Amino acid sequence: MKVNELFDLTGKVALITGGGRGLGEQIAEVYAEMGCELALCSRKKESCDGVAERLSNEYGIKAKGYALDVTNEEQVKSVVNKVLADFEKVDILVNNSGATWGAPVEEMPLEAWNKVMNVNVTGTFLLSKAVGKHMIEQNHGKIINIASAAGLTVRPPEVTNTIGYTTSKAAVIHFTKDLAIKWARHNIYVNAIAPGMFRTKMTKGTLEQKEEKVVETIPLRKIGDENMLKGAAIYLATQASDFVTGTVLSVDGGSTL
């Protein structure tokens, strides 16, 4: 098989949560470029609609936006059923929706902790469960969980102070490994990407206040740009990674070394 065939996604369907902006939009773009059809989900449907329209026009693929609160099981079931009705299958699930909250541990509200855990951990579980049932029936699937370098290491509060986020992403990493061994018999690959510091809406506040300190923790001494996650995302979604499951691919400039 030629290398370009290993990375081809023609005829595949990907469901991407948080697909209307940031890392989710970047992943959607590289999938579209490789021929993948896209179901983009987030609470802000209009953002997903805009990305879906742009990518459809640019790459000639089918793409559609859906409104989804990943913490609501009934909504998750409903949207997955709509996607299956619209696209007939889901080959790739990218659990990208995420939330964070910055505060010292001693001052963090329980409500904030619960919100972050519900979106990052429970949302990943609910989507994997709903889409996984379909993937088990078709005996194939690729699940990519967007974890974080923050789930692999710790930093002093002068650098980051988001214990709910770091804890949730560590949970996503363990969930990835456990689910990979549970569903390997169904030919379902479950992997995670652990991005380091990228320029997104979520990180804007931290970088505005502490960019110099953050960069000092990154051996490559730079912040991730809009292209740096695409290679990892396409690799884990395609035949190129057909002997890889339960792994965590860090895309972090070396910050977890």
Sign of CA dihedral 175, 181, 183, 187: positive
- 17 strand-pairing partners: 41
Which of these, 85, 92, 47, lies nearest to 66 by C-alpha position?
Answer: 47
Which of these, 248, 238, 255, lies nearest to 35 by C-alpha position?
Answer: 238
* Contact by Cβ (8 Å): 10, 33: no
Catalytic site includes residue 235: no
State the amino acid at position 112 in one-letter form: A
* Gap between the Cα atoms of 5 and 98, Å rounded: 32
Contacts with 152 (C-beta within 8 Å, 6 or more apart), sequence order: 170, 173, 194, 248, 250, 256
* Contact by Cβ (8 Å): 157, 104: yes
Cα(first)–Cα(last) distance of the chain, in Å?
Answer: 34
Task: Give the pair of three-digit tokens for residue 172.
Answer: 């996503």
* Cα Rg of the chain, angstroms: 17
Q: Which of 31, 66, 165, 189 is catalytic?
A: 165
Cα–chain center distance at 146: 3
Cα–chain center distance at 223: 18
Give SS3 for 32.
helix
Catalytic positions, written as ranges? 165
